[in-house]
Amino acid sequence: MALRDQLRTIVVDDMSTSRGLITQALDGFGVRQVESAADGPSALQKIAAWPVHLVISDMNMPGMNGLQLLHALRSAPQTRGVGFLLITGKADREIIEHGKQLGMNNFLKKPFQPDELRKAIEAIVGRL
């Protein structure tokens, strides 16, 4: 069974259009086990009920940004080892450094092409 058949992923973004584009791209790669959430707190609830291998999260979201979500994931034993891909329109060195300190696995700058998303994911989980 291929990795893409087993990979459980959640897409976290407050913009439904962005969630849709990422979900479509994942579907195009053959990744079918995909959930989505509009914000960090609802993502954490879904992950508690449906454990994932990979979190693809936007940076700028109301209430809890991507790095705060990452911190919450890394602080809990059940989610400490989950792969984390941060997607941001502002790939400032400060954001990236902070993300790395928190245990971010990779990041992708918006806008991006599906192939760039695939490479960013494969750098975390291996070949899809």
For residue 90, the model assigns a pLDDT of 86
How far is Cα 115 from Cα 97, in angstroms, rounded to an integer?
A: 24
Rounded to the nearest 10 degrees, the angle between the axes of helix 66-75 and helix 40-49 is: 30
Alpha carbon 91 to its chain's center: 15
Would you say 105 and 124 are in contact if contact means Cβ atoms under 8 Å apart?
yes
Any domain includes 76:
yes
Number of domains in the chain: 1
Say if residue 48's pLDDT is above 80: yes
Examine residue 128 and state whether it is found in any structural domain, yes or no.
no
Domain for residue 52, yes or no? yes
Q: So what's the pLDDT on residue 3?
A: 87
List pLDDT tens digits, range 4-29. Answer: 899 999 999 999 999 999 999 999 99
Residue numbers of the domain that contains 17: 3-123
The answer to whether residue 66 is domain-embedded is: yes
pLDDT tens profile 71-83: 999 999 999 999 9
DSSP state for residue 39 in the 8-state scheme? S
Q: What CATH number corresponds to the domain at position 24?
A: 3.40.50.2300
